[in-house]
Amino acid sequence: MKIKQYRTQFIKELSSWYDAYEAESFFYLILENKHKLRKIDLALNHELAFSYADLAVWDAFLNDLKKEVPIQYLLGKTSFYGLDFEVNENVLIPRPETEELVEWIINENKITDKTKKLKILDIGTGSGCIAISLAKNLPNAEVYAMDVSKKAIEMAKRNAGYNNVKITFILKSVLELEMLKSNFDIIVSNPPYVRHLEKQEIRKNVLDYEPHLALFVDDNNALVFYRKIAELAQKNLLQKGQLYFEINQYLGKEMTELLEKMNFKNIELRKDIYDNDRMMKGEI
């Protein structure tokens, strides 16, 4: 079957689950990933065709997409801040909002003095997207990354290798720590922050397939990770050290009050590209 013909069929079959634009984007992601063909290649050569073996692979993709399995998990990879990352069901799929957090940290901590070093800790690293992006873009940084999940740490280690950066990984639950073993210039975290009461807002592809360990917190203790990490930051951030968080969009006021009560300075709350309260910073 000619690829252009299959493309039309592919988009039509997914019409009950996705709009045409999203279905088309899936088609070209798979086409490039599996066949090294881009949209322009298809436009220039109308005779390109799939073999029977190709069609069997594509039909399997269709079936999984109809179950709303995330395309990133089906391909086994995604892009984040210009870098490629391996992902699977053991880690969250990196979001554009988190790229904004990374951008904020990089812009505020670019160092022209090559002799000065930065020591950074990423808590709840998952795929390693934050830690690796910071290590790649802040060459003077010594970066550490912590996670409670052994499988997440294993994946993050692979991603660090793919992107040719050195990260020190720590397999530990932050909630079990009373003190970090080192002091840091920057601590950053995108911890679990979705309350169970917000489940109805979560799309099926996230709710059914992404790890709940990295997503959800108890409705009555929604700031448990933030409070603990802020306590550690009080003890282990160096003078003028910075604490950065990605936060629940509905809890900006509560997060600001938390950091104020803990005597952080220069507290700043920022909105994401969707105009939601999404990230914040405090200093020691």
Residue with tokens 């949209």: 39
Amino acid 77: pLDDT = 94
Amino acid 112: pLDDT = 57
Amino acid 206: pLDDT = 84
Condensed to tens digits (0 to 9), the pLDDT of residues 171-222 reads 999 999 999 999 999 999 999 888 888 877 888 778 888 888 888 888 888 9
Listed in order, strand segments (DSSP E) in 4-154 are: 77-80, 83-86, 118-123, 141-147
* 239 pLDDT more than 70: yes
Condensed to tens digits (0 to 9), the pLDDT of residues 39-48 reads 999 888 989 9
Amino acid 186: pLDDT = 97
**pTM reported for the whole predicted model:** 0.91
Amino acid 114: pLDDT = 65
How many other C-beta atoms are found inside a 10 Å radius of the C-beta of residue 88? Answer: 17
50 — pLDDT class (breaks 50, 70, 90) = very high
98 Cβ neighbours under 8 A, 6+ residues apart: 80, 129, 130, 190, 246
Condensed to tens digits (0 to 9), the pLDDT of residues 165-179 reads 999 999 999 999 999
pLDDT mean across residues, the chain: 93
Residue ranges per structural domain of the chain: 3-67, 90-283
Fold annotation for 90-283: Rossmann fold (3.40.50)
Residue with tokens 């929604």: 222
Condensed to tens digits (0 to 9), the pLDDT of residues 85-119 reads 999 999 999 999 999 999 999 999 987 566 788 99
Element (H, E) at 45: none
**What Cα–Cα distance (Å) separates residue 222 from each residue in 71, 89, 96, 219, 269?**
29, 23, 23, 6, 18
Amino acid 113: pLDDT = 60
Amino acid 56: pLDDT = 95
Condensed to tens digits (0 to 9), the pLDDT of residues 244-253 reads 999 999 999 9
- Cα dihedral sign for 168, 171, 173, 177? negative
